């Protein structure tokens, strides 16, 4: 592990006001989290929490991935129903989730019409850029 890189990341985390920072290059993956007291600690990369999926997703299903690292939300507020459930049909451009990064809520939109075949991330969980959030089956897929 490159100690100088870790030192630079810790300094960047303190200077930025962010709560966490993640660095990935090749085989190197570093995630640092600042607790409420300002202490920085290394943390293992967050596991991708799987939501309940009564219907299995097919490898042919289209993935919708996180465009950045942040907290994934299935609904617009804690007391609101989820944007979508497994089996729901969606249209291209429809908001199907939210991703909070740097205190900004970013809509996650379906990039094509289809049916929600799987919800691969749990509500209120940290996801990394590129993580699969949803899997869409073709709109005319009866399964």
**pLDDT (average), residues 40-69:** 62
Which band of pLDDT confidence, cut at 50, 70 and 90, is reported for residue 20? confident
**pLDDT (average), residues 79-100:** 95
In a domain, 54, yes or no: no
**Considering the chain, what percentage of its residues have pLDDT values greater than 90?**
39
pTM attached to this predicted model: 0.60
- One domain for residues 65 and 127: yes
110 token code pair: 């379906």
What total of structural domains would you count in the chain?
2
| Eight-class DSSP state of 12 | H
Question: Given the structure tokens 């990935």, which residue do they identify?
Answer: 24
Domain enclosing residue 19, as ranges: 3-33
For residue 127, give the CATH number of its domain.
2.40.50.100
The span from the CA of 73 to the CA of 62, in Å, is: 20
Dump pLDDT digits (tens) for 107-120: 999 999 999 999 99
In a domain, 22, yes or no: yes
pLDDT on residue 69:
87
């Amino acid at each position: 592990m490159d100690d100088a890189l870790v030192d630079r990341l810790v300094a960047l985390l303190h200077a930025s006001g962010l709560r966490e920072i993640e660095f990935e290059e090749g085989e190197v993956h570093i995630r640092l989290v600042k607790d409420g007291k300002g202490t920085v600690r290394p943390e293992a990369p967050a596991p991708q929490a799987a939501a309940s999926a009564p219907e299995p997703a097919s490898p042919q299903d289209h993935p919708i991935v996180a465009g950045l690292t942040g907290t994934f939300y299935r609904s617009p507020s804690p007391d609101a129903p989820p944007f979508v459930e497994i089996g729901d049909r969606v249209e291209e451009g429809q908001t199907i989730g939210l991703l909070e990064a740097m205190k900004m809520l970013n809509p996650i939109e379906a990039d094509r019409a289809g049916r929600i075949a799987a919800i691969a991330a749990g509500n209120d969980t940290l996801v990394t850029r590129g993580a699969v959030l949803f899997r869409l089956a073709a709109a005319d897929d009866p399964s």
